[in-house]
Each structure stands twice: as C-alpha cells, then as structure tokens.
C-alpha cells in the first residue's frame, strides 16, 4: 500500500508544525529514523517510521493534521483531508465538525459549547465504516475540544456496544471532562435544543 495513490492511512490529530517523538508503534523516531514528506493526495505532511516501514507495518506512515485548523464549508479545500466547521445557529446550539476527504465527508462530530457558562458537550461521533480505526475519530474529538479550550466537558450517555466502548477507551483521553454521560447541559443549551426541531 505504500505510495499507492489514495490509500487509506491513519491520521493523527497533532499540530501540523509539531514533529512527533514516537511512531504509532511507540518507536522513538530519533533512533528508528523518520521520513517526512508532503502528501499531495491528503495535502498534509506524512511521517514514516523507517523501522515500521522496513517491517512492512501498515501503521508505518501517518499524517499530521492540525485539529485547530478548521474551515467553513465555503472556504474548505475540496482536495485533501480537511476539517470543516458548521457553527451553531445560536448560543448553546448544535455545532458540527466534518472531516472531508476530497470534498466528501467521511466523518463528523456534533457538539454544544456555551462561552458564558464555559460548558461543552460532545453528542455524536460518526466515521464511515471504511475509514474506521484510522484515527479519524480522534481527530474529530480533538477538533471539537479545540473549539472550547478550558471548558468543562461532558458527553451524552453512551450505548454499551463494543464499538462505542472501544472508541472511547482509545480516544477518551482527549476529552478534558466526564466521558460516558449524562451530559452536563447549561440552560442555554437546553433552550437551544427546544428551539431546534
Ligand atoms: Zn515505528
Ligand atoms: Zn450556557
């Protein structure tokens, strides 16, 4: 799959300017050796651990996407992998972040955030089946949390399916607050929810 145009590979939500110290298998890159290049398909920097590459590990190459870089649907690049923000219509309303690959949404997350109350709630995370276990959900959660740094976060009540538990067990460390529900809505959020069908 290496070098094949458009191959699905993991994306990891880290600052694009930040170079990682470890690969996805935990190798220290300073010792393992690392190659970074610009991917024209994803329009992101890709990083390859040279040890993982030599061992033919499918996680050898990954992308660095900055979760704070979010575009409006009008301004978003219809090439590459980009985060697109659809802001809420009112305070406490449901905001929406999508991850687009080549102009098509492959995953999204719903959130409510209230500035005056400094509260935020994650509602749903969805990633297309074809793109699961690639780090895309982690990128979406990091993008949502980046919208409201320092807020008190909670999530809606989760189902107990294996897929849901596996996701949050892997990604929950990204959320600075209570995972699993119930959501800690403020009155603005409850009011906004009443106004939205
Ligand atoms: Zn490695
Ligand atoms: Zn509020």
pLDDT of 58: 84
* Whether residue 94 sits in one domain with residue 186: yes
From edge to edge, which strands make up the β-sheet containing 34-39?
11-13, 61-65, 44-49, 34-39
pLDDT of 4: 35
Quote the ligand 2 centre to 118 CA distance (angstroms).
7
| Other beta carbons less than 10 A from residue 141's beta carbon | 25
* Whether residue 129 sits in one domain with residue 173: yes
- 3-state secondary structure at position 32: helix
Quote the ligand 1 centre to 60 CA distance (angstroms).
6
Domain that holds residue 37: 11-65
Residues ≥6 apart with Cβ < 8 Å to 32: 23, 49, 50, 51, 52
pLDDT of 15: 47
Predicted confidence band of residue 135 (pLDDT cuts 50, 70, 90): confident
pLDDT of 13: 52
The reply to whether 1 falls in a domain is: no
Q: Alpha-carbon distance 197 to 195, whole Å?
A: 7
Helix ranges (H only) for 127-172 are: 136-147, 162-171
* Whether residue 115 sits in one domain with residue 191: yes
Q: For residue 124, what are its two tokens?
A: 């749903």
Per-residue pLDDT for 117 more than 60? Answer: yes
How many structural domains does the chain have? 2
Quote the ligand 1 centre to 34 CA distance (angstroms).
9
Predicted confidence band of residue 11 (pLDDT cuts 50, 70, 90): low
Per-residue pLDDT for 196 more than 80? Answer: no
The reply to whether 78 falls in a domain is: yes
Q: What is the arithmetic mean of pLDDT over 132-146?
A: 89
Q: What is the arithmetic mean of pLDDT over 23-40?
A: 92
Quote the ligand 1 centre to 61 CA distance (angstroms).
9
Quote the ligand 1 centre to 54 CA distance (angstroms).
9
pLDDT of 10: 62
Give the number of whichever ligand sits closest to the CA of residue 193: 2
Give the number of whichever ligand sits closest to the CA of residue 118: 2
For 35-39, the CB contacts below 8 A with 24+ separation are 39/63
Quote the ligand 1 centre to 26 CA distance (angstroms).
6
* Whether residue 190 sits in one domain with residue 141: yes
The reply to whether 122 falls in a domain is: yes
Quote the ligand 1 centre to 6 CA distance (angstroms).
22
| Four-CA torsion 145, 147, 150, 156, nearest 10 degrees | -50
Which one is predicted more confidently, 8 or 39?
Answer: 39
Give the number of whichever ligand sits closest to the CA of residue 22: 1
| Structure confidence by residue, pLDDT tens digits, 142-156 | 999 999 999 999 999
Give the number of whichever ligand sits closest to the CA of residue 119: 2
CB 49 within 8 A of CB 27: yes
* Whether residue 153 sits in one domain with residue 136: yes
The reply to whether 88 falls in a domain is: yes
The reply to whether 4 falls in a domain is: no
* Whether residue 169 sits in one domain with residue 78: yes
Quote the ligand 1 centre to 184 CA distance (angstroms).
40
pLDDT of 33: 96
The CB-side HSE value for 65 (13 A sphere, CA atoms) comes to 31
* Whether residue 186 sits in one domain with residue 101: yes
Per-residue pLDDT for 41 more than 50? Answer: yes
Q: Alpha-carbon distance 192 to 194, whole Å?
A: 5
């Amino acid at each position: 799959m290496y070098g094949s145009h458009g191959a699905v590979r993991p994306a990891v939500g880290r600052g694009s300017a930040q170079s990682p110290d470890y690969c996805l298998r935990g190798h220290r890159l300073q010792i393992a050796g690392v190659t970074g290049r610009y991917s024209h398909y994803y329009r992101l920097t890709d990083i390859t651990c040279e040890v993982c590459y030599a061992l033919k590990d499918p996680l050898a190459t990954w992308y660095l996407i900055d979760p704070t870089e979010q575009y409006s649907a009008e301004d978003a690049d219809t090439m590459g992998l980009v985060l697109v923000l659809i802001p809420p219509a009112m305070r406490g309303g449901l905001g929406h972040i999508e991850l687009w690959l080549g102009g098509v949404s492959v995953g999204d997350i719903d959130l409510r955030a209230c500035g005056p109350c400094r509260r935020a709630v994650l509602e749903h995370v969805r990633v297309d089946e074809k793109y699961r276990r690639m780090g895309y959900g982690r990128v979406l959660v990091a993008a949502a949390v980046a919208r409201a740094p320092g807020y008190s976060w909670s999530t809606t009540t989760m189902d107990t399916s294996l897929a849901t538990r596996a996701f949050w067990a892997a990604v929950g460390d990204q959320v600075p607050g209570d995972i699993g529900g119930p959501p800690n809505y403020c009155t603005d959020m409850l009011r906004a929810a009443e106004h939205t069908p």
